[in-house]
Amino acid sequence: MGVVQIRLPKKIVEKIDKMIERENYLSRSDFIRTKLREVVEKIE
């Protein structure tokens, strides 16, 4: 698996953290990986 680092505005990180709690993701990485996979699958 490759590694990609990104910087996000604080407000986006806060929203991601709330979604992680609501949707029971294990971590920010898990959340972002899952959401990106969903987007990529839609455009393939």
Hey, is 15 helix, strand or coil? helix
Query: 24 in a domain, yes or no?
Result: yes
Domain count, the chain: 1
Query: 28 in a domain, yes or no?
Result: yes
- Look up the pTM and report it: 0.80
Of 33, 34, 36, 32, nearest to 13 (Cα)? 32
Query: 5 in a domain, yes or no?
Result: no
Task: Show pLDDT as tens, one digit a residue, over the chain (44 residues).
Answer: 899 999 999 999 999 999 999 999 999 999 999 999 999 999 97
pLDDT for 13 equals 97
Q: Which domain holds residue 15?
A: 10-43
